[in-house]
Amino acid sequence: MHIHVNQLQEGCILSRDVISSTNRPIMLKKTILSQSLIEVLKAFLIDEVYVEKTLVNGDSFTPAINLNIKASHNDPEELEALTFTDLFLRQTQKYKREFLTWQSGLPIDIYKVRNILLPLIEQADNRASEIFSMHHFSTKEDYIYQHSLAMGIISATLARKLNYNTGDIIQIGLAGCLADCGMAKINNRILNKTTTLTIEEYEEVKNHSSISYQMIKNISLLRDGTKLAIIQHHERLDGSGYPFGERGSRIHPFAKVIAIADVFHAMTSERIYKPKLSAFKVIEMINEQHFGEFDIRTLKVLDAAIMNFSNGSKIRLSNGHEAEILFIEEKSPTRPLIKLLENGEIIHLEQNRQLYIDEVLT
C-alpha cells in the first residue's frame, strides 16, 4: 500500500525500505512505526512510503483521507488479496480471543483453532522468506499469541520439507500451535513481567507443557502422537529438557520438529525481557551452543530454508552495511566471504565474529 506520510498511524508496518536522497535506507521494511518514527520520516522530508494493509495489532489499516495530499499512483499491492503477513496478523488476533477464553476457564474449541491455523499453513507453501521472518512482527504485548501461531506454521513447514504426509503436517502444525496453550493457566503477573524471571517463576512457567497436555488430552481430533508432542516439546535429545528429561528415541518425532520451531521463533522475536536476534545468528547459536539437543535432520532443513542465498546475493549486516556474497563455505554457510557495496572492502565473516548476516535483500 503506497500512502503519504501524513496518513501514517502508530502500528503501521513498512513493506519496503525507506530510502534517503543519498540512497541509504532510513528505515528498513518490516519496521513497526511509532509516532516518534513517523516524525523521523517527516524530518527527513519523506513524502510517501509503502506499508502493509494490516496494522501490527491485526486490524485493517485504512489511511485517513486528506484532500491536501497529492494522490499517489495506483499500487498493484492494493489489488492483491491478503498477503501472508496480513493474514498472519489477523489470525493472531483470532487466536488471542481464543486464548482469553481459555484464561476465563472455557475449554479449547479445536475446530476454531484449526480454522485459524489451516489458512496460514496453506499459504505457507513456497513462502520461506515470509515464514521465517514472522518474528519481525512480534510485539511484546502480543508475543505469546504470535509465538503460538508461528510455532504451528513453522512446524508444519518443516514437516512438509521433511516429507511428512498431509495428515501428519496438519497434526504437527496443530501440536505446535497448541504447545503453549497451558500458558493460559500461568499467573498473569509472570506472563507480563518485564524483567528476568526468578528461579521460582521460571519453574512455574515450565509447568505449561504439562498443563497444555491436560487441556488437550480429551480432544479426539488430535492423535496420540500429537498430544505426546505437546507435552514433550521442551524435551531435548541429550536429556537436558523438561518435564521428564526424556532422551533420544523416547521423544516423539513430532516433538523434535516443534522443539526447533519453538526455539527458532522465540530467539528471533522481541520478547518482554529479551531482545530479538538475527535469524542467522540464531542458526549459529542453535548449531554451536546447543549441539546435541536438537534433531540433526530437522535442523538441516531449517538451515536450508533460512540460508536460501547464493553467490551474488545482496545482504544486510548486523552493523547496517550492505554487502554482496562472494563465496560460501560449506562448513560455515552463515559466514561467507563478502564484499561491502559502499567501498568494495572484502571481509570474511568467519574471521570477523562480531559481524553476522542480519537479512538477505536479494
Residue 68 has pLDDT above 70, yes or no: no
Write the pLDDT tens digit of every residue in 93-102. 999 999 999 9
- pTM value > 0.75: yes
Instruction: Please check whether residues 234 and 249 belong to one and the same domain.
Output: yes
Instruction: Please check whether residues 319 and 238 belong to one and the same domain.
Output: no
Q: What is the greatest pairwise CA distance in the chain?
A: 66
Instruction: Please check whether residues 121 and 194 belong to one and the same domain.
Output: yes
Local structure of 27: helix, strand or coil: strand
Residue 80 has pLDDT above 60, yes or no: no
Write the pLDDT tens digit of every residue in 329-356. 878 888 999 999 999 999 999 999 999 8
Residues spanned by the domain of 119: 84-306
Write the pLDDT tens digit of every residue in 143-161. 999 999 999 999 999 999 9
Instruction: Please check whether residues 292 and 350 belong to one and the same domain.
Output: no
Residues comprising the chain, all counted: 362
Q: How many domains does the chain have?
A: 3
Instruction: Please check whether residues 141 and 196 belong to one and the same domain.
Output: yes
Local structure of 59: helix, strand or coil: coil
Instruction: Please check whether residues 49 and 158 belong to one and the same domain.
Output: no
Instruction: Please check whether residues 182 and 321 belong to one and the same domain.
Output: no
Q: Write the CATH number for 4.
A: 3.90.105.10
Instruction: Please check whether residues 149 and 54 belong to one and the same domain.
Output: no
Grid coordinates 480471543 are at which residue?
Answer: 97
Cα-Cα-Cα-Cα dihedral sign, residues 162, 168, 174, 179: negative
Write the pLDDT tens digit of every residue in 190-203. 988 888 889 999 99
Instruction: Please check whether residues 110 and 207 belong to one and the same domain.
Output: yes
Lowest mean pLDDT among 34-48, 77-91, 195-209: 77-91
Question: Of residues 217 and 303, which shows the higher confidence score?
Answer: 217
The domain boundary residue, chosen from 80, 107, 141: 80
Contact indicator for 24, 46 with CB cutoff of 8 Å: no
Local structure of 357: helix, strand or coil: strand
Grid coordinates 503436517 are at which residue?
Answer: 169
Residue 111 has pLDDT above 60, yes or no: yes
Instruction: Please check whether residues 2 and 104 belong to one and the same domain.
Output: no
- Residue 225 CB partners (closer than 8 Å, separation 6+): 171, 252, 253, 254
CA dihedral 342, 345, 351, 352 (to 10 degrees): -30
The domain boundary residue, chosen from 80, 99, 116: 80
Instruction: Indicate the helix (H) or strand (E) that contains 129.
Output: helix 128-131
Residue 302: C-alpha distances to residues 12, 22, 241, 257, 326 (Å) = 30, 37, 21, 10, 23
Q: Write the CATH number for 126.
A: 1.10.3210.10
- Range list of β-strands (E), 238-360: 314-317, 322-327, 337-340, 346-348, 357-360
Separation between Cα atoms, residue 41 and residue 39, nearest integer Å: 5
The domain boundary residue, chosen from 263, 288, 306: 306
Instruction: Please check whether residues 59 and 95 belong to one and the same domain.
Output: no
Instruction: Please check whether residues 268 and 281 belong to one and the same domain.
Output: yes
- Residue 307 CB partners (closer than 8 Å, separation 6+): 280, 283, 333, 334
Using a 10 angstrom Cβ sphere, with 0-12 exposed, 13-18 middle and 19 or more buried, the burial of residue 205 is: middle
Separation between Cα atoms, residue 30 and residue 351, nearest integer Å: 30
DSSP per position, 75-123: -GGGGS---HHHHHHHHHHHHHHHHHHHHTTPPP-HHHHHHHHHHHHHH
Q: What is the pLDDT of residue 150?
A: 96
